[in-house]
Amino acid sequence: MQTSSTSPHPALSATLVDMLRTYGPAIGMLGVLVVFAILKPVFLSPANIANVMHQSVVLIVISFGLAVVMSMRGVDLSVAQIADGAGLIAAILVLNGQPLWLVIAAPLAFGVGIGLVNGLIAAYVGVPAVIGTLGMMFIIRSGELMMTNGAEPQILFSLPRGLTRAFFFIGQGKIFGISALVLLGILIFMIMLAVMTFTPFARRAKAVGGNARAAMLAGIDIRAVFAGGFVIAGLLSAVAGVALVSRTGIAVPRGAEPYLLDAFAAVYLGTLLSRRAEITIPGVLVGGLFITFLGNGLTLLGLGAPFRYGLNGAFILLAMAIGALKRPH
Amino acid sequence: MSDPRSRQSETVIECRAIRKVFPGVVALDDVSLAITRGEVHALLGQNGAGKSTLVKILTGVYQQDGGEVRIGGEAVRLRDTRDAEARGVAIVHQDQQLVPQFDVANNILLGSEMTGALGLLDRGAMRERVDAALKRIDAGFSADTLVRDLSIAERAQVAIAAALMRNPTALILDEPTASLSDHEAEHLFGIVRGLRDQGVTVIYISHYLDEVLSLVDRISVLRDGKLIGTLPVDGVSRADVVKMIVGRDIAQLYPKEVVPIGQPLLEVRDLAHGHKLNGVDLTVRRGEILGIAGLVGAGRSELALTLVGALKRRQGSVTIDGRASDPATPRDAKNDGFSLIPEDRRHEGLVIDMTVRENLSLPNISRWARFGLFNPVAEANAARELVERLKIQPASIRPLTRNLSGGNQQKVVVGRWLTGNSQVFLFDEPTTGVDVGSKIEIYRQMVELARQGAAIIFISSDFEEISAMCDRTVVMAKGKIVKTFEDQCEATPEALLNWASATGQEEDVAGTSAVPADTGRVERLLSRWGTALGMVVTIAVIALLAPHFLGIGNIFDVLKQGSVLAFIALGLTVVLIAGGFDMSAGATSQFAANLAAGTLLAGQGTLAAILFGGGLGLAIGTVNAGLVLLLRMPPFVATLGMMFVAMGGTLLYNGGQALTLSGPPEFFFLGQGYVGPVPFVFILLVIVTALLHVVLKRTRLGLRMYAVGLNPVAANLRGVTKPAYAFASFAIGGLILGLAGVILSAYSYGASALATGVDFLISALAAAFLGSTLTKAGELDVVGTVIAAIFLASLSNGLILIGVSSQALPGVQGLILILSIALGVFRRRAIGQVLIF
């Protein structure tokens, strides 16, 4: 009775739009991949697929963190830089022959610490997150440059294997023939799914994202919740950064920066899979996988960075344009 | 015009049998009244009586469903507010939408600015006209005072003056005294009388009967959408008016029950907040429903919000069951045992995009949690039970609360507190806009809570329900309790209205004088000149450590380096001014630099390079504007996507190679040439900045760009709509960013292969925001931006001279960016959310 549709054929156009909403994005993503598969059959070879899955973990884990912040209408431009810094710390510790627990614990502590500072600046001081985390990104970058004497790569793969075997297992090892990194990714996905479904934090975060004032009056500590998102983002980014260095055996300062753009694309694309264009953990997983497959396909076709950037941007804009259809005004 | 009395009989506005129906409610039914020229005519009635609907029809916000409106004897159908204004009906709203950073003249004439030669604003004429209007209402401030520096009462006067500029035949004043002190209100009455003497017809809406009876000529009373009567005030007693307003409706069913009343549970002593709440004492006992009657602006909501810690307490103490309660946030208050059902359920009560279930379990979600995970089955069952208990329709926990009716929404807000350990329930206007069935359900819940031993505070301006449902009632006015009815039998609707609408002269003096004193002189100087001082000190310290820093040669070097960045920052500032955001700013300049370099390499000459570079920027800006305005994307996302696209385009264009130029020299002159000792690029910067400054501050276009950025609602009310001016800002900003790219490639003899516009972005953002802290009103400003950009360049230069590693420079810039924003926002801190969706 009170539908907002004003078109002359409400029933027909509503069904069409409904169809488009529900299946369009998924079909579109599949279509892109099918095109790659036709152009380069090797794209769908088991080896390539396993390779892409292996590669996608770092991006997906970073995107999870970004997604948590963005679901509260925040944004964290420093996620990729945190990953970068964390990886660098891990590499330097390995080079100095530190024990494995420290090699892992120190970067994670760094990620949590940066997340805390980001959260304090955004939630307690009130600096818009886009500004605060942009500033933080540059502060970390400076730190990295100074730590590495002007962006000298920290090379681990040329070290004696005895020193690096344990650390490299994270990114290169296999458990029962399955990449340990993929298993780590699945584990983190399960944990994030549980965290964002079954914890009081997730409910509160959703309320903060939906209406911060109402959430506050309902007795929610909105500042702590908002800051908490940045801490999660910091921690996950640090995990991803350590995994990246373990996978590649080298830590190049600023090497992880491109992940920022990919992560945005993954999160925005992920919203297409939800009925109300919301950010969801499974959506981010699919978005991250798609972006990695896309990059892989472009590489196979011999198309490099310009196309990746261009398509990432175009997909973000497309995702938002479709999302605009889904939301009530 | 000299003698209004002679025109007394001429009808200005006439309503004939006006009818307005909303789904399920007849808001106005057969309302006929005539307003005569030069009178002050009051519209009276309780909340929901139909006053605001009638006013909205007269101002073109709503259209009547039946009957006709005649203005000046002619039947009209008002399409919108501008149509109404054109026909001489102007309204001054209760809360004035003004642009605080503008002065009075710009605020009043926004949308109808006066221009002189070259399209420049004729400030002299504007000031003159506005001062004349201000004089008409005897204002104590001038046309060039910043609205930011005015009191609430003075802002109301600005609004009245703005309405007068349109030479209205009838001026509607909607609750003009609700947030004024007695002294300020008295001044306003003087203004209204003065206007009447000048022949202006005034329609005056107020709940305060005393002021109405002493001010107006005639009154019309509405009740339940019907006109009860129109009569001259001479010879009408206050009691008669109260009777007309309240009336005797068909007795509604109130499920009041007698519940044993126990020991005092909530004790409030001398509670105060700002100047809206001036020392309130309350005691509520277990099982008791305490009514708080009062009118809009009486301080009732402030009382509730202060009790739960959402507003800061100035003084006073609160105890629950003997334990002191001084919550800093609503969360602390929840733990102390408070539950608030806020006044505005859609914006403050519910998260409307969450489901019934999620809203119901929101405050106490950890109740179902163990080891950090909650049990969704138990939680859903609890929510289902509440839905059943409160008879929420539809009887499901799954729908989004946005799709529920008002009454059911309210039940959800009430229901979510029923699972906790709350002892004190604050109901703030729980039944406004709620259907009768839901009303009864809400009353029942109150009684039920009381029976369980809770203390209940029931705030309402529906005096009938207060009278019927409460055990005791207090009346608030002007932030104080003016009357306590220990015996509820005396708290009749008439008595409540009588007390609530009295002006309460003698009690007010202490209240207004208790307003916190102005901040200290030093503090004010610091907040005005702090940034500038900081810059000077920084420069001085660097000069001390590195004497070479202030050498003429070095200064001009810095100016040259800084100018390129300043150009990019200028472009970004222009976009930010109209409320946009541009993540793609740096990438756009980078792309334009490549295009310019490529154009020259292709041998097409300097002019072509400039045209292509600038054109590219303009094109990207236009696309950004299209994404934001047509597809309604948040600027952050749209320009983020555009940033990717521009980066991809850059790499595609240069093939990942640096484009190195070896000529022509006239092109390099743009970025590297000197006129005498002065770098040419700096001269160019000064010229462009001056030009932009004139456009932004001295033309209609610029003024309106600022207006839509600073307060789009205010701008819209004056007929200045956002799209046109936001488009202009994206396009002009894009053009400047493109030209900045051209200059960049002239400065660096070509274009680098990298496509990282992010570096430029942060410097430009830092310059824009740091520059804004230099201005008087704290608004974005091109001159401030340029000064800040040059400062940032000198800082980089100076730090290197001192021997700080260049690797630390990005970090320093990041830090300055955060600090410059923190300076501005710390006092009114929100949480730093961005509009992403």
Residue B574 confidence (pLDDT): 94
Is the CB of residue B309 less than 8 Å from the CB of residue B320? no
CB contact under 8 A, B351 and A277: no
Is the CB of residue B491 less than 8 Å from the CB of residue B459? no
Query: Judged by CB atoms within 8 Å, which residues 6-65 of A form the interface with B?
Result: none
* Chain A residues with beta carbon closer than 8 angstroms to that of B624: none
* Chain B residues with beta carbon closer than 8 angstroms to that of A126: 822, 825-826, 828-832
**Which of B23, B644, B765 faces A261 most closely, judged by CB atoms?**
B644
Q: Which two tokens stand for residue A250?
A: 């080298």
Residue B779 identity (one-letter amino acid) = E
Helix B552-577, helix B758-772: angle, nearest 10: 90
Question: For residue B739, what are the contacts with CB-CB under 8 A and spacing of at least 6?
Answer: B567, B592, B610, B613, B614, B617
pLDDT confidence tier of residue B375, bands split at 50, 70 and 90: confident
Spatial CA neighbour of B304 closest among B276, B347, B342 = B342
Q: Kindly report the CA angle at B662 between B656 and B666, in degrees rounded to 5?
A: 120
CB contact under 8 A, B815 and A139: yes
Query: Model confidence over B444-454: pLDDT tens digits?
Result: 888 988 998 99
Residue A326 confidence (pLDDT): 61
**Is the Cα torsion angle A135, A141, A143, A145 positive or negative in sign?**
negative
Instruction: Calculate mean pLDDT across residues B745-772.
Output: 82
Is the CB of residue B834 less than 8 Å from the CB of residue A73? yes
Is the CB of residue A126 less than 8 Å from the CB of residue A56? no
- What are the residue ranges spanned by the domains of chain B? 4-246, 264-502, 565-791
* Chain B residues with beta carbon closer than 8 angstroms to that of A317: 627, 633, 637-638, 641-642, 645
* Chain A residues with beta carbon closer than 8 angstroms to that of B762: 134-135, 137-138
Query: Model confidence over B164-214: pLDDT tens digits?
Result: 888 888 899 888 877 677 777 888 888 888 888 888 899 998 877 878 888
Strand, helix or coil for residue B807:
helix
Is the CB of residue B355 less than 8 Å from the CB of residue B399? yes
Instruction: Calculate mean pLDDT across residues B79-85.
Output: 82
* Chain B residues with beta carbon closer than 8 angstroms to that of A206: 351, 354, 358
pLDDT confidence tier of residue B744, bands split at 50, 70 and 90: very high
Instruction: Calculate mean pLDDT across residues A295-303.
Output: 86
C-alpha distance from B490 to closest chain A C-alpha (Å): 34
Residue B509 confidence (pLDDT): 38
Q: Which two tokens stand for residue B492?
A: 């009749």
**Which of B828, B829, B833 faces A73 most closely, judged by CB atoms?**
B833
pLDDT confidence tier of residue B458, bands split at 50, 70 and 90: very high
* Chain B residues with beta carbon closer than 8 angstroms to that of A258: none
Nearest residue on chain A to B352, alpha-carbon basis: A210
Query: Model confidence over A31-90: pLDDT tens digits?
Result: 888 888 888 888 888 899 999 999 999 999 999 999 999 999 898 999 999 999 999 999
Instruction: Calculate mean pLDDT across residues B489-500.
Output: 85
Instruction: Calculate mean pLDDT across residues B396-414.
Output: 86
Residue B268 confidence (pLDDT): 93
CA distance to A19, A228, B530, B541, B813, per residue, from B537 (Å): 63, 37, 10, 6, 17
Residue B86 confidence (pLDDT): 85
Count interface pairs A-B at CB distance under 8 A.
261
Question: Does A190 contact chain B (CB < 8 Å)?
Answer: no
Interface test with A, best of B22, B301, B344, B644 (most A CBs within 10 A): B644
Q: Where is A65: in which H helix or E strand?
A: helix A46-71
CATH superfamily of B264-502: P-loop containing nucleotide triphosphate hydrolases (3.40.50.300)
CB contact under 8 A, B822 and A127: yes
Query: Judged by CB atoms within 8 Å, which residues 231-260 of A form the interface with B?
Result: none
Local structure of residue B347 (DSSP, 8 states):
I
CB contact under 8 A, A324 and B831: no
Question: Does A173 contact chain B (CB < 8 Å)?
Answer: no
Least confident of B45-49, B259-263, B733-737: B45-49
**Residue A73 falls in which region: left (phi positive, over 0), alpha (psi -120 to 50) or beta:** left
Residue B479 identity (one-letter amino acid) = G
* Chain B residues with beta carbon closer than 8 angstroms to that of A220: 330-331, 362-363
Least confident of A312-326, B544-558, B635-649, B820-834: B820-834
Question: For residue A166, what are the contacts with CB-CB under 8 A and spacing of at least 6?
Answer: A100
Q: Looking at mean pLDDT, say which of B21-35, B623-637, B737-751 comes out highest.
A: B737-751
**Is the Cα torsion angle B325, B331, B335, B337 positive or negative in sign?**
positive
Tell me the backbone φ, ψ of residue A177, rounded to 5 degrees: 80, -5
C-alpha distance from A166 to closest chain B C-alpha (Å): 32
Alpha-carbon span B143 to B131, nearest angstrom:
6
Residue A36 confidence (pLDDT): 86
pLDDT confidence tier of residue A7, bands split at 50, 70 and 90: very low
Q: Are strands B659-660 and B338-341 parallel, antiparallel or unpaired?
A: unpaired
Neighbours of B257 (CB within 10 A): 11
Question: Does A177 contact chain B (CB < 8 Å)?
Answer: no
Question: For residue B22, what are the contacts with CB-CB under 8 A and spacing of at least 6?
Answer: none
Q: Which two tokens stand for residue A112?
A: 């949590």
Nearest residue on chain B to A317, alpha-carbon basis: B641
Check for a shared fold between B4-246 and B264-502: yes
Residue A21 confidence (pLDDT): 62
Neighbours of B517 (CB within 10 A): 5
* Chain A residues with beta carbon closer than 8 angstroms to that of B650: 306
Residue B3 confidence (pLDDT): 45
**Which of B334, B347, B813 faces A219 most closely, judged by CB atoms?**
B334
CB contact under 8 A, B822 and A125: yes
Strands (E), B742-830: 750-751
Spatial CA neighbour of A142 closest among B724, B807, B338, B212 = B807
The ipTM, to two decimals, is 0.83
Spatial CA neighbour of A260 closest among B475, B758, B339 = B758
* Chain B residues with beta carbon closer than 8 angstroms to that of A210: 351-354
Nearest residue on chain B to A199, alpha-carbon basis: B373
Where are the alpha helices (H) located in B271-375, listed in sequence order?
300-307, 330-336, 356-360
C-alpha distance from B618 to closest chain A C-alpha (Å): 19
Residue B445 identity (one-letter amino acid) = Q
Query: Model confidence over B637-654: pLDDT tens digits?
Result: 889 889 989 988 898 898
Instruction: Calculate mean pLDDT across residues B304-329.
Output: 90
Residue B192 identity (one-letter amino acid) = V
Least confident of A189-203, B93-107, B120-134, B604-618: B93-107
CB contact under 8 A, B831 and A305: no
What average pLDDT does chain B have? 85
**Is the Cα torsion angle A38, A42, A43, A49 positive or negative in sign?**
positive
Question: Measured over all CA atoms, what is the biggest interatomic distance in chain B, rounded to whole angstroms?
Answer: 96
Round the CA-based radius of gyration of chain B to a whole number and report it.
Answer: 32
Interface test with B, best of A1, A303, A317 (most B CBs within 10 A): A317
CB contact under 8 A, B631 and A316: no
Cis peptide before B394 (omega within 30 of 0): yes
* Chain B residues with beta carbon closer than 8 angstroms to that of A324: 631-633
Strand, helix or coil for residue B236:
coil
Residue B419 confidence (pLDDT): 84
**DSSP one-letter string for B629-649:** HTS---HHHHHHHHHHHHHHH
**DSSP one-letter string for B546-578:** -GGGGSHHHHHHHHHHHHHHHHHHHHHHHHHHT
Residue B1 confidence (pLDDT): 40
Residue B536 identity (one-letter amino acid) = V
Residue B182 identity (one-letter amino acid) = D
- What are the residue ranges spanned by the domains of chain A? 53-255
Q: Which is more confident, B255 or B688?
A: B688
* Chain B residues with beta carbon closer than 8 angstroms to that of A321: 631, 633
Cis peptide before A328 (omega within 30 of 0): no
Residue B347 confidence (pLDDT): 84
Alpha-carbon span B14 to B76, nearest angstrom:
10
Query: Judged by CB atoms within 8 Å, which residues 289-328 of A form the interface with B?
Result: 304-314, 316-317, 320-321, 323-324, 327-328
Find out if CATH 3.40.50.300 is the number for domain B4-246: yes
Strand, helix or coil for residue B703:
helix
Residue B154 confidence (pLDDT): 85
* Chain B residues with beta carbon closer than 8 angstroms to that of A200: 365-366, 369, 372, 374
Q: Where is B69: in which H helix or E strand?
A: strand B66-71
Residue B511 confidence (pLDDT): 39
**Which of B23, B809, B831 faces A122 most closely, judged by CB atoms?**
B831
Is the CB of residue B372 less than 8 Å from the CB of residue B350? no
Nearest residue on chain A to B334, alpha-carbon basis: A219
Alpha-carbon span B613 to B742, nearest angstrom:
6
Alpha-carbon span B17 to B31, nearest angstrom:
5
Residue A11 confidence (pLDDT): 56
Residue B817 confidence (pLDDT): 76
Using CB atoms within 10 Å of the CB of residue A161, give its burial: 0 to 12 exposed, 13 to 18 middle, 19+ buried.
Answer: exposed
Instruction: Calculate mean pLDDT across residues B371-384.
Output: 88
Instruction: Calculate mean pLDDT across residues A155-173.
Output: 83
Using CB atoms within 10 Å of the CB of residue B147, give its burial: 0 to 12 exposed, 13 to 18 middle, 19+ buried.
Answer: buried
Q: For residues B483, B489, B494 and B500, what is the CA-based torsion angle, rounded to 10 degrees?
A: 20
Is the CB of residue B768 less than 8 Å from the CB of residue B671? no
**DSSP one-letter string for A197-229:** HHSHHHHHHHHHHH-HHHHHHTT--HHHHHHHH
